[in-house]
Chain A
Amino acid sequence: MRNAGSIRLAAEPASRVRFATALLFSCVATALAANVHAATLLNVSYDVARGLYEELNPAFVADWKQKSGETVGVDQSHGGSTKQAHSVIEGLPADVVTMNSPLDIDAIADAGLLPKDWAKKFPSASSPSWSAIVFVVRKGNPKALKDWSDLVKAGVQVILPNPKTSGNGRYSYLAAWQFARTQSNADAASALAFEKKLFANVPVLDVGGRDATTTFAQRGIGDVLLTFESEAKVVVSTFGADKFEIAYPSLTVRADNPVAVVAKNADKKGTAKIAEAYLQFHYGSVAQEIFARRGLRVVDAKVAAAHAAEFPQIKTFVVDEAFGGWPKAQAEHFATGGSFDKVVAEVKR
């Protein structure tokens, strides 16, 4: 045994470590290799998309089997969007990323794992679905919170996650800013003053969107929760339509859910073609239907029309146009010394 081993090792020194690793973990591999397919994609995604992809992935697998005869598998990894992006940058072998903020895919592009013009690779800025920030209020809307201006009134408690650490928080902050700025006689200074009043009404700043939901819905803190419409629908269906309802403000922000092939990983694994097809599948009627049923707004006009009753007309703006793109918005509002830091410093005093 030892002889055979050393001959093998001497012949191919480069593979020595690989051989040893293989030997060490071979028994483990058999245990873990329960779902081995011709090719397995890894979709690294944001936290609350778990249920969505549990439904979408089998649909894609069936579709691909029918089209090509190949059996593929799709593994899912979920976590906070930014944390997931960091994992991909540090070597998590994602074939595709499906995120809830373009900022996170930009970060992966900056690390050289996918082309910087990723947003142009698929229709609708590579975003097959989107959502918007809405208000979740307690049943009957006892404090009559209908628009952003209602949130800064005295005695109102607003729950939203920290804009420094969460997508929901950033979007909510920018939506409030844009609302304040577009009022008559408004400017950047009055927008900042509006944010200060708003955050003076915030009793808890949770780290992530789900934490904020738990604070509001389960612990019963606050009068209104600012979150994505898709999450708001989950709150209403999980905790009961007899307890919560959704209110739509006069203006809100459109939050795209962008997708991209992680070219460097997919090329290396030889999965680029399937990865591309997987993301194309997101735009097909089957996937669009799944998105719509899960409370996400879709880009396919037919599917959107079929679900029009569940998605009231809303007036939205996009960050690219209103704030000159995410990098600029990030630098001006959420970086150290940005407007949010000023708001927090003021509120603390």
Chain B
Amino acid sequence: MSAVVHSRYRAATSEPALVRWLLIATAITFLALFLLLPFAAVFAQAFAGGFKVFFAALADADAVAAIKLTLITAFFSVLLNTLFGVAAAWAIAKFEFRGKNFLITLIDLPFSVSPVIAGLVFILMFGSRGWFGGWLSDHDIKIIFALPGLVLATVFVTFPFVARELIPLMQAQGSDEEYAALTLGASGWQTFWRVTLPNIRWGLLYGILLCNARAMGEFGAVSVVSGHIRGVSNTMPLHIEILYNDYKFSAAFAVASLLALLAFVTLGLKTLLEWRHGDELAALRGH
């Protein structure tokens, strides 16, 4: 199929065949070395102890708790970031206001801040000696070393994903359809639910998937704010670290392979989205 396309448009590409093949071979070798090989290694190591060890590692009470906690943390983080992302993208794409560029820069901040810093920030705010620490402990509210801390840290790290996907999409679409809806008598909410949301749904889903993938795999920030209590505040990445440090290599890679599988599912869904709704996602390719 692609060969046909290539031969028909050969005039457009003047490179000799050898150069093209070399380039393709280089790319594939690179992919194999840096992506496929490590993945294969993860699964090979996961099954090194046999299927029994593999499933025992996943059925272990602490592993189950870690998987649950990871899913719960990712759920809340993605929920919060979806709400925020839609609101921010809406404000940025549809309205003109002062400080807009500043807001866009702020949204990108988590990309450039180390996750460890993100974790430490929350310790500074909510730790016993932090700004709100005394008040929180007086009222018996636990933030860091508990689920809220894990969610906060994850939200911080995955902050840009949904907003970053939606902003170019909404900017490209403009506000014409919303204006039309308003002139036809729709209320603000009706416009949002019936016009804006259907227009951005695939982009939104795409953003949510990326956000989710990152949220489940987050290590640095979560490691700082987690109390590392087995079965209570260990997420999957933290559990993997513990198993690895305990020389339980097969168990560590069993859990790692599950995390990798979750990433594969996300990747698969993403590819499916691109394939089915490529046109609507076209605006995303701009960045």
* A→B interface (CB under 8 Å): 14, 17-18, 21, 25, 28, 31-32, 34-35, 42, 47-48, 50-51, 75-79, 84, 87, 89-93, 111, 210, 234, 238
What chain A residues lie within 8 Å of B246 (beta carbons)? 50-51
What chain B residues lie within 8 Å of A84 (beta carbons)? 228
Least CB separation from B73: chain A residue: A28
Cα(A35)–Cα(B69), bound, Å: 14
A93 contacts B145, CB within 8 Å? Answer: yes
Interface positions, chain B 64-109, Cβ under 8 Å from A, are 65, 68-69, 72, 76
Cα(A210)–Cα(B244), bound, Å: 10
B231 contacts A35, CB within 8 Å? Answer: yes
Least CB separation from B136: chain A residue: A91
Cα(A54)–Cα(B179), bound, Å: 64
> Known contacts being A34-B65, A51-B246, is A91 close to B147, with CB within 8 Å?
no
A235 to chain B, nearest CB (A): 10
Least CB separation from B133: chain A residue: A91
A90 contacts B129, CB within 8 Å? Answer: yes
A77 to chain B, nearest CB (A): 4
* B→A interface (CB under 8 Å): 61, 65, 68-69, 72, 76, 123, 126-130, 133, 137, 139-142, 144-145, 147-148, 227-233, 242, 245-247
B139 contacts A18, CB within 8 Å? Answer: yes
A32 contacts B141, CB within 8 Å? Answer: no
> Known contacts being A78-B242, A90-B144, is A14 close to B139, with CB within 8 Å?
yes
B65 to chain A, nearest CB (A): 7
A90 contacts B65, CB within 8 Å? Answer: no
A-B contact pairs, 29 of them (CB 8 A): A14-B139, A18-B141, A28-B72, A28-B76, A31-B72, A32-B65, A32-B147, A42-B227, A48-B245, A50-B246, A75-B230, A75-B231, A76-B229, A77-B227, A77-B229, A78-B230, A87-B227, A89-B129, A90-B123, A90-B128, A90-B129, A90-B130, A90-B145, A91-B126, A91-B127, A91-B133, A91-B144, A91-B145, A92-B227
**Which of B61, B128, B231, B245 is A89 in contact with, Cβ under 8 Å?**
B128
Least CB separation from A235: chain B residue: B247
A25 contacts B137, CB within 8 Å? Answer: no
Cα(A51)–Cα(B72), bound, Å: 27
A219 to chain B, nearest CB (A): 14
Least CB separation from B246: chain A residue: A50
Q: Identify which of A31, A84, A91 gathers the most chain B CB atoms within 10 Å of its CB.
A: A91
A238 contacts B145, CB within 8 Å? Answer: no
**Which of A21, A32, A42, A210 is B245 in contact with, Cβ under 8 Å?**
A210
What chain A residues lie within 8 Å of B232 (beta carbons)? 32, 75
A77 contacts B228, CB within 8 Å? Answer: yes
Cα(A78)–Cα(B173), bound, Å: 51
A79 contacts B144, CB within 8 Å? Answer: no
B65 contacts A25, CB within 8 Å? Answer: no
Cα(A34)–Cα(B60), bound, Å: 13
B245 contacts A47, CB within 8 Å? Answer: yes
What chain B residues lie within 8 Å of A28 (beta carbons)? 72, 76, 147
What chain A residues lie within 8 Å of B145 (beta carbons)? 87, 90-93
Cα(A173)–Cα(B72), bound, Å: 45
Cα(A238)–Cα(B139), bound, Å: 47
B72 contacts A91, CB within 8 Å? Answer: no
> Known contacts being A50-B242, A87-B145, A92-B145, is A34 close to B247, with CB within 8 Å?
no
> Known contacts being A90-B127, A90-B128, A91-B144, is A17 close to B229, with CB within 8 Å?
no
What chain A residues lie within 8 Å of B245 (beta carbons)? 47-48, 210
Least CB separation from B128: chain A residue: A91
Beyond the given A32-B147, A50-B246, A91-B127, could you list 7 further A-B residue pairs with CB under 8 A, ordered by the A residue number? Answer: A32-B69, A34-B61, A77-B227, A87-B145, A87-B227, A111-B128, A210-B245
B115 to chain A, nearest CB (A): 16
B148 contacts A25, CB within 8 Å? Answer: yes
